[in-house]
Amino acid sequence: MSGKVVTFRNGRVFDGERLHDGHVARFEDGQLAALIPEADAPYTEDAVDLGGDILSAGYVDLQVNGGGGVMLNDDPSVETLKRMVDAHRNLGVAAILPTLITDTREVTAAAIAAAIEATQRGLAGVAGLHLEGPHLSLARKGAHDPALIRPMEPEDFDNLLAAARALPALMVTVAPESVSEAQVAALSRAGVIVSIGHTNADFETCQRYAAAGARVATHLFNAMSQLGSREPGLVGAALANGALSAGLIADAIHVHPATMRAAWASKAGPGRIFLVSDAMAVAGSDLSEFRLGGRMIRRNAGRLTLEDGTLAGADLDLTTAVRNLVGLVGVGLEDALRAAITVPAALIRRKTVAGQVLGDMIRIAPDLSACRPAI
């Protein structure tokens, strides 16, 4: 893109915070140079006509287990990461945290090594790594293999510290049942984004872990202690504690729209709710089934389930999640776009939202029915 000027007109522009109507977006050398009122902008025949589409930075998805027919767990390699990135790029995602579901120490080490190599090579779209397990609670295992869930041992802890030094972003989902407050505090000081999830921990315990350094709750309402009249659980802690952000699978299957509406209205700041796809191998493909650790997962009517009916990830793209927030939950479009882009980008300290890199830009249909790369 060096030396090139690209302009977009006849659409709306989302700058990471606000939607601008009637503006021309001018990019120079691949970076957003100016937003100019259309009436003041010189007309150029080679300007890209958005046809009413929304021009925006691409989505940032912090929970991506697979895509393009592959799962990170099955082959934790740079080749798998590239295939996942390509599949999600076609769904409008500029950056992902490839996510490893609970696995062996050897597979975990391979995933860390692949993510490090990918980021060192500059593989566009790989923003780091998310390790969802294995240090979870058996009581809230969800689709995770119970035989692989275990407490965090010194070797695991040391491996995470080393990974945090080598990766631009490392998120780990842990349960208080398997990880100590001291471990969470040390990981947080080392720059690890600690997320509480897959846990039956009570409200007070979750508050203590947030005070120790946990910053996120993994897929709010799912695989966690629920909000009750006398015990608020992790749901209550995530909503009440301003230090905690929370990922949300907004497919109207994992969480009912009315529940999402109540959570959105009650979430304390500055921690925010952000959208995740929790995508599996089927993302960006026409697969009807796949295997995770030898267990069959079937795709049917927007659901991914194990043979016993347990939800196993989501069949969701973030454009659909944004549309559901707006249409089913009543969230404003700017807020919904922030939840898919700006909030998760800030959590992993990603700067491209503010920088608006042309190669990361997407076009979103006005009715939120689809999106595609802007160029």
| For residue 270, cis peptide bond before it (omega within 30 degrees of 0) | yes
Catalytic residues: 278
Backbone angles phi, psi at 127, to 5 degrees: -95, 0
Check if the beta carbon of residue 13 is closer than 8 Å to that of residue 36. no
